[in-house]
Amino acid sequence: MKTFENHTGGAFPNVEFDAAIIGKLSQSGPRYTSYPTADRFQQDFGYGQFLEAVAGLRMRRSQRPLSLYIHIPFCDTICYYCGCNKIVTKDHSKAATYLGYLKQEIDMQGRLFAGMGQIEQLHFGGGTPTYLSDRQMGDLMAHLHANFQFAPDAQGEYSIEIDPRTVSVERVHSLRAQGFNRISLGVQDFDSEVQKAVNRIQPEAETRAVMDAARAAGFRSISIDLIYGLPKQSMASMEQTLDKVIAANPDRIALYNYAHMPHLFKPQRRIADEDLPTPAVKLDLLALCIRRLCAAGYVYIGMDHFAKPEDELAVAQRQGRLQRNFQGYSTRAEAELISCGVSAISAVGATYSQNEKTLEAYYEKLDEGKLPVSRGIKLDTDDLLRRIVIQKLMCNFELSIASIEQAYPIRFAQYFAAELEKLQAFEDDGLLEVDPEWITVTPKGRLLIRNICMVFDRYLNLPRADGPQPLRYSKTI
Ligand code: SF4
């Protein structure tokens, strides 16, 4: 494995910020949590096709580990920047109804996957998973354990996204006792003016108390989410937020680019254009974050993610085990992903399948005794090949051409002749190196990894069956 040395002299991938190149190449593009991307899923893929995919695994006696994703769509209040699929309501009785249906889906999935490997990874996302009460969460976890076999705590990664505004110190201890061993906290920004502008008031002391409680309770990894490009953010405010983040000492940091797309996400219409940092300031904010986090000893994992060198994510990257899925980066390559809940996306065998996106449609399918699959895609050989190429580049910043030729009956230089020609422009800009054995992304190219992967995306230039769509991808940087 070829690597570039980072500032610590360790063999970790590092990153170099080049404003001129970023300015030149910034464009809209997918985040590649899947390939093909979700906007290419097809309506003629339903429950029947999902059952076929699981039957195929059973026939091959697959014992690949299983990964579970549970989607809790509810939130108490709206954050104006949010682009998630969520339901904002203070009527908590809706959660009780939802849980009843969710448990039905878990029962069905549990029966389908019975005897086919153990759960090594569990992730609760949303919305706000801690919208559920302590009792509801305990009940749901017991239900999951009754339907699936889980790897022991020391072996499995069991994570939950929490909103520090919704949990007490006692609740954090309770989550650990219920089986979670990793926790990620939405913070976004510690500055009170920024918090006001996005309708998310979250005092620093509250966040620190939750982090301290998570450490005391024995959570193995604590992650913080930040966003740059929010309204009212400035270099000075970001410096202060970073001081606080670094002092809080999380194991991982996700640093997201705020994508202002009010034509797609209604809550964003409440953000005043004049409060947003200019594109130039936004780039300065990103450069500042990267400089400060790297100086504080964090390793750049890839798209939006930083981790301490000893964190499992960084270790997995060094060992070539890193994978990208709908929750970002993950350490379990090759796991089958079973997702339950409204709008959740599964990745089973050579398929992706997405559940119904509205509660009504989700409940209706379950009432009919069917899994609530609404659309999906069966990958062909070309999709699988391009998926592995994109995954490797995204996760490792390099690709062994020989390993692809061993796994697929192709000559890489012939099959990807057009793509290699396009990569030449990136090579000329110093973003990657191509030789007959490796494609290697340089530290300067790492922030532009989406642009590089887009070269291998066959669908980008294909029209969609349902006609032209409004601009749907965020900026690559
Ligand atoms: S950012 Fe999180 S808490 Fe805020 S509205 Fe979106 S999903 Fe809910």
From the number of C-beta atoms within 10 Å of its C-beta (0-12, 13-18, 19+), residue 360 rates as exposed
State mean pLDDT over 381-397: 95
The Cα 256–Cα 265 span in angstroms is: 17
Distant-in-sequence, close-in-space partners of 392: CB < 8 Å, separation ≥ 6:
398, 399, 400
**At residue 465, does pLDDT exceed 70?**
no
Comparing 1-15, 16-30, 173-187, 400-414, which segment has the lowest mean pLDDT? 1-15
Comparing 61-70, 144-153, 206-215, 315-324, which segment has the lowest mean pLDDT? 315-324
Cα(218) to centroid(ligand 1), Å: 26
- Name the closest-CA residue to atom 2, ligand 1: 127
- Name the closest-CA residue to atom 1, ligand 1: 82
Judged by DSSP in three states, 234 sits in coil
∠ CA 335-74-42, nearest 5°, is 50
Query: Is there a contact between 51 and 473 (Cβ–Cβ < 8 Å)?
Result: no
**At residue 438, does pLDDT exceed 60?**
yes
Phi and psi at 80, nearest 5°, equal: -65, -25
Name the residue of 74, 77, 79, 188 to mutate for ligand 1: max ligand atoms within 8 A of Cβ.
Answer: 79
Query: Is there a contact between 141 and 179 (Cβ–Cβ < 8 Å)?
Result: yes
CA-closest candidate to residue 237, choices 202, 188, 280: 188
C-beta of 163 in contact with ligand 1 (< 6 A): yes
The confidence score (pLDDT) of residue 6 equals 37
Nearest ligand 1 atom to alpha carbon 77:
5
C-beta of 84 in contact with ligand 1 (< 6 A): yes
Q: How many of the other CB atoms lie within 10 Å of CB of 50?
A: 22
**At residue 221, does pLDDT exceed 50?**
yes
Cα(446) to centroid(ligand 1), Å: 28
Query: Is there a contact between 322 and 331 (Cβ–Cβ < 8 Å)?
Result: yes
C-beta of 345 in contact with ligand 1 (< 6 A): no
Cα(128) to centroid(ligand 1), Å: 7
- Name the closest-CA residue to atom 7, ligand 1: 127
C-beta of 71 in contact with ligand 1 (< 6 A): no
C-beta of 128 in contact with ligand 1 (< 6 A): yes
Say what percent of the chain tops pLDDT 70.
Answer: 94
**At residue 372, does pLDDT exceed 50?**
yes
Query: Is there a contact between 369 and 98 (Cβ–Cβ < 8 Å)?
Result: no
From the number of C-beta atoms within 10 Å of its C-beta (0-12, 13-18, 19+), residue 208 rates as middle
CA-closest candidate to residue 385, choices 369, 374, 401, 372: 401
Strands 74-75 and 66-72: unpaired
State mean pLDDT over 51-68: 91
State mean pLDDT over 257-274: 93
- pTM of the model as a whole: 0.93
C-beta of 127 in contact with ligand 1 (< 6 A): yes
The confidence score (pLDDT) of residue 323 equals 81
The confidence score (pLDDT) of residue 8 equals 35
Nearest ligand 1 atom to alpha carbon 161:
2
The confidence score (pLDDT) of residue 477 equals 64
The Cα 451–Cα 474 span in angstroms is: 12
Name the residue of 71, 86, 198 to mutate for ligand 1: max ligand atoms within 8 A of Cβ.
Answer: 86
The Cα 217–Cα 447 span in angstroms is: 35
Query: Is there a contact between 304 and 257 (Cβ–Cβ < 8 Å)?
Result: yes
Query: Is there a contact between 284 and 233 (Cβ–Cβ < 8 Å)?
Result: no
The Cα 308–Cα 130 span in angstroms is: 26
Cα(186) to centroid(ligand 1), Å: 9
C-beta of 161 in contact with ligand 1 (< 6 A): no
Nearest ligand 1 atom to alpha carbon 78:
5
Query: Is there a contact between 124 and 159 (Cβ–Cβ < 8 Å)?
Result: yes
Query: Is there a contact between 164 and 210 (Cβ–Cβ < 8 Å)?
Result: yes
C-beta of 165 in contact with ligand 1 (< 6 A): no
